């Protein structure tokens, strides 16, 4: 007896089939679990994912990342259906800057240019003049006239890094990422003694004392490029370890060591608990059900769109 539909027991096959029937594109951040990265059509850092979301002609964007990233995709592409495998996948950094408190804070700096990191809610973006990501932040800050004051939110560590790089004085919102502030300067120093040939790669959301040990600081994409291009054979990676999957694919003959965290003994201590809420099963389910879907008030979307478009023009 012929079956109406072919049995699809392999979840990878199911997802491929759903991509076709839904005319869906899967965008994934480097911090997603390796299986999700392997089913994605496009893997990137926050800026590349925003650009990809803007240019896609798929009907459905399956955003494998955290809420602010999927929300940015929706702001840029309101006519598409944007789904996030787990709606609870938030971001401690975005949460550290609630819009009402930020609006009150900004009243103290009425003449400042407000630069917000992409790791913010749409409501915070709507209060900002221009958005940046870790890959274009320096360029965005340098584009602001010297005589203008700058408020930078919400990541204080990225903010301090930018102050050191550009020499610009900025007012910083005191937010931080729960993952990048875990890395232990002391244990990284010990690893460097054990592996003197190893390069330290660090994301600028890390604390200053960790960045001071780094041979290269940059966005996830920049860390990946450095890992491939460097002559070093061994690396200590101070960012979410999901990216090591791509590093190992790009440079299979090199060794990548997760930067240790203070007090942490486990292998998953530096994994982002928000990013890791997404699973392959949830990717399949959200494609089947077309939910959880990202929806947004149109007036808010338009206010949040303006500073994102300014960023895309400048970068």
Cβ–Cβ < 8 Å for 131, 308: yes
Assess whether the previous peptide bond of 159 is cis (omega < 30° from 0): no
Stretch that binds ligand SF4, among 8-16, 159-167, 209-217, 269-277 (CB under 6 A): 269-277
**Cβ proximity to ligand 13P, 114 vs 275, nearer residue:** 275
Considering only residues 124-153, where is the footprint of ligand SF4 by CB under 6 A?
A: none
Considering only residues 21-80, where is the footprint of ligand 13P by CB under 6 A?
A: 45-46
Q: Least distance from C-beta 121 to ligand SF4, angstroms?
A: 12
Q: Does 70 bind ligand SF4 (CB under 6 A)?
A: no
Work out which of 52, 119, 128, 133 binds ligand SF4, going by CB under 6 A: 119
Helix (H) or strand (E) holding 218: none
Q: Least distance from C-beta 66 to ligand SF4, angstroms?
A: 5
Q: Least distance from C-beta 69 to ligand SF4, angstroms?
A: 8
Q: Give the relative orientation of helices 298-314 and 46-55 as an angle to the nearest 10 degrees.
A: 110
Q: Least distance from C-beta 296 to ligand 13P, angstroms?
A: 20
Q: Does 182 bind ligand SF4 (CB under 6 A)?
A: no
Q: Are strands 170-172 and 199-202 parallel, antiparallel or unpaired?
A: unpaired
Residue count (the chain): 315
Interaction partner, residue 185 (ligand 13P, ligand SF4, none; CB < 5-8 Å by kind): none
Q: Least distance from C-beta 128 to ligand SF4, angstroms?
A: 17
The partner residues of 101 in beta bridges, in order of sequence, read: none
Q: Does 219 bind ligand 13P (CB under 6 A)?
A: yes
- Three-class SS state of 160: helix
Stretch that binds ligand SF4, among 89-97, 136-144, 281-289, 301-309 (CB under 6 A): 89-97
Q: Does 223 bind ligand SF4 (CB under 6 A)?
A: no
CA-wise closest residue to 75 among 260, 311, 312, 295? 295
Cβ–Cβ < 8 Å for 86, 285: no
Q: Give the relative orientation of helices 280-289 and 11-22 as an angle to the nearest 10 degrees.
A: 30
Cβ–Cβ < 8 Å for 162, 141: yes
Q: Least distance from C-beta 127 to ligand SF4, angstroms?
A: 19
Interaction partner, residue 92 (ligand 13P, ligand SF4, none; CB < 5-8 Å by kind): ligand SF4
CA-wise closest residue to 72 among 28, 118, 114? 118
CA-to-CA distance for 217 and 222, rounded, in angstroms? Answer: 8
**Cβ proximity to ligand 13P, 37 vs 220, nearer residue:** 220
- Three-class SS state of 120: coil
CA-wise closest residue to 219 among 266, 175, 155, 174? 155
Q: Does 27 bind ligand SF4 (CB under 6 A)?
A: no
Q: Does 272 bind ligand SF4 (CB under 6 A)?
A: yes
Q: Which residues in this chain contact ligand 13P in the complex, by CB under 6 A?
A: 45-46, 119, 133-134, 177, 203, 205, 219-220
């Amino acid at each position: 007896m012929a079956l109406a539909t072919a049995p699809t027991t392999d979840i990878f096959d199911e997802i491929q089939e759903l991509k076709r029937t839904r005319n869906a594109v899967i965008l994934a951040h480097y911090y997603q679990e390796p299986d999700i990265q392997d089913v994605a059509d496009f893997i990137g850092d926050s800026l590349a994912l925003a650009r990809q979301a803007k240019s896609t002609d798929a009907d459905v964007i399956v955003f494998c990342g955290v809420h602010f990233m999927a929300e940015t995709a929706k702001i840029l592409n309101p006519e598409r259906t944007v789904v996030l495998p787990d709606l609870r996948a938030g971001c401690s950094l975005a949460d550290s800057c609630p819009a009402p408190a930020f609006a009150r804070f900004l009243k103290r700096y009425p003449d400042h240019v407000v630069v917000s990191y992409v790791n913010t809610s749409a409501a915070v973006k709507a209060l900002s003049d221009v958005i940046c990501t870790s890959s274009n932040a320096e360029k965005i800050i340098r584009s602001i006239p010297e005589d203008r004051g700058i408020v930078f939110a919400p990541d204080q560590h990225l903010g301090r890094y930018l102050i050191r790089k550009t020499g610009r004085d900025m007012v910083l919102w005191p937010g931080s990422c729960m993952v990048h502030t875990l890395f232990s300067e002391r244990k990284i120093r010990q690893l460097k003694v054990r592996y003197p040939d190893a390069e330290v790669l660090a994301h600028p959301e890390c604390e200053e004392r960790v960045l001071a040990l780094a041979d290269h600081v940059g966005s996830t994409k920049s860390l990946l490029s450095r890992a491939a291009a460097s002559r070093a054979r061994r690396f200590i990676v101070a960012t979410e370890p999901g990216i090591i999957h791509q590093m190992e694919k790009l440079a299979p003959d090199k060794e990548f060591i997760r930067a240790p965290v203070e007090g942490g003994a486990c292998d998953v201590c530096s994994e982002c608990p928000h990013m890791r809420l997404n699973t392959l099963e949830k990717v399949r389910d959200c494609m089947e059900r077309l939910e959880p879907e990202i929806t947004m008030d149109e007036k808010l979307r338009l206010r949040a769109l303006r500073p994102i478009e300014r960023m895309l023009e400048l970068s």
